């Protein structure tokens, strides 16, 4: 059996920090409302000209260093993003060029906030098949570029950043199980209503931003995240009590707490970064993962449950032994 083991993690946040007080100056909101309703205190925002690939490159170099390998040892690059630098080439190809590694398989995955979970699960399937040995899996976003900064319903929620992991073939687990789901019927609750083959004129005029029916999304997220964790545990025979760390998508502290409660996981076993990063979509889980690895909370041999819910709707989980 070929397992996929996490060999190293990395992350990067843009230098510019925007606090809730900064947002009070541009929309009708308060620090108190944002903290009470979301848990967010601040978020990082990419500088003018700083792109998703710039963030992805820095996170990737940190992950390569942590794994003690060079980029030339990578044979698969997957970037999860909803905010690619260009329509094409993919951000994965741009990243591959930056890292100076011509040849390896490289592609982007678009599953919004579930993007990293999708990408990690796909990398595991490539490695398990024996076709690839070492993958660079990145979640990177510049969500700030598709936010209407005059809309208080959405602009207080999101931030920019990138997280990366190196996944390699191993005799030992490794990724134990992953589950991926989607239901396109809920498109109208969470979307950016412009794209290439529809609304392109609007898009190039700089119109078309994240639209969200927040409370409907909230309810769906809480119900769905509890279910996906149960599904994943049931497929492995592991119990809720076997999970050492829950690493949830960081959208809202109330969603995170509700999911932890369903799992009967105490909050001191849940990695929370939403207060510092906001919702960084596909970057949020690898950012939280790297934060808790680097500050010494997550240790080798521990069981981690990652779970996410986002636009699509998409949702999924990865259970792994670190
Ligand atoms: N400051 C002050 N008041 C605000 C703000 C703000 N920034 N934003 C909204 N309000 C107001 C609303 O206008 C509304 O006022 P009204 O009652 O007079 O109409 C009131 O606050 C309550 O609004 P709700 O939407 O009911 O507030 P809720 O408690 O649901 O919190 C939130 C809103 C934070 C958006 C929450 O619904 C949420 O987190 N939803 C889920 C987000 C999520 O998980 N998204 C999935 C991933 S994102 C992705 O995939 C890209």
pLDDT tier at 32 (50, 70, 90 boundaries)?
very high
User: What pLDDT does 262 receive?
Assistant: 87
pLDDT tier at 84 (50, 70, 90 boundaries)?
very high
Cα angle: 182, vertex 188, 189; to 5 degrees: 75
**pLDDT surpassing 90 at residue 206:** no
Average pLDDT over residues 177-190: 96
User: What pLDDT does 117 receive?
Assistant: 98
User: What pLDDT does 226 receive?
Assistant: 85
User: What pLDDT does 263 receive?
Assistant: 87
E strand or H helix at 211, and its extent?
strand 211-212
Put simply, whether the predicted model's pTM sits higher than 0.85 gets the answer yes
Give the tens place of pLDDT for each residue, 213-227: 999 999 999 999 989
Percentage of the chain lying above the pLDDT 90 cut:
96
Determine which residue's CA is closest to atom 7 belonging to ligand 1: 152
| Ligand 1, pocket residues at CB < 6 Å | 29, 33-34, 37-38, 112-113, 152-153, 156, 190, 214-215, 217-218, 221, 251-252, 255, 279, 281, 310-311
User: What pLDDT does 259 receive?
Assistant: 92
Burial status of residue 113 (CB atoms within 10 A of its CB: 0-12, 13-18, 19 or more): buried
Mean pLDDT (the chain) is 97
- Distance separating alpha carbons of residues 101 and 129, to the nearest angstrom: 22
Contact 83, 45 (CB under 8 A): no
């Amino acid at each position: 059996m070929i397992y996929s083991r996490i060999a190293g993690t990395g992350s990067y946040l843009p230098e510019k920090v925007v606090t809730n007080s900064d947002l009070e100056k541009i929309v009708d909101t308060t620090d108190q409302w944002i903290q009470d309703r979301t848990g967010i205190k601040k978020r990082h925002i990419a500088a003018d000209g700083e792109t998703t690939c710039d963030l992805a490159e820095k996170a990737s170099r940190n992950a390569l260093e942590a794994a003690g390998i060079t980029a030339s040892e990578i044979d698969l690059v997957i970037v999860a993003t909803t905010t690619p630098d260009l329509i094409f080439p993919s951000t994965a190809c741009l990243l591959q060029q930056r890292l100076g590694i011509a040849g390896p398989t490289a592609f982007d995955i678009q599953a919004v906030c579930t993007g990293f979970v999708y990408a990690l699960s796909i990398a595991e399937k490539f490695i398990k098949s024996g076709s690839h040995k070492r993958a660079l899996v990145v979640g990177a976003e510049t969500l700030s570029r598709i936010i209407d900064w005059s809309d208080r319903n959405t602009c207080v929620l999101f931030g920019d950043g990138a997280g990366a992991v190196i996944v390699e073939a191993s005799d030992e687990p490794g990724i134990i199980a992953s589950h991926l789901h989607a239901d396109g019927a809920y498109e109208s609750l969470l979307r950016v209503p412009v794209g290439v083959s529809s609304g392109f004129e609007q898009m190039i005029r700089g119109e078309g931003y994240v639209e969200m029916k927040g409370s409907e999304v909230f309810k769906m997220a809480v119900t769905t995240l509890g279910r996906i964790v149960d599904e994943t545990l049931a497929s492995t025979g592991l119990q809720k009590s076997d999970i050492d760390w829950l690493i949830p998508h960081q959208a809202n502290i109330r969603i995170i707490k509700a999911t932890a409660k369903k799992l009967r996981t105490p909050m001191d076993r849940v990695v929370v970064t939403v207060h510092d990063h906001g919702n960084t979509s596909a970057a949020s889980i690898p950012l939280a993962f790297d934060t808790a690895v680097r500050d010494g909370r997550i240790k080798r041999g521990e069981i981690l449950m990652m779970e996410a819910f986002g636009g699509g709707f998409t949702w999924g989980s990865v259970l792994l032994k670190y």
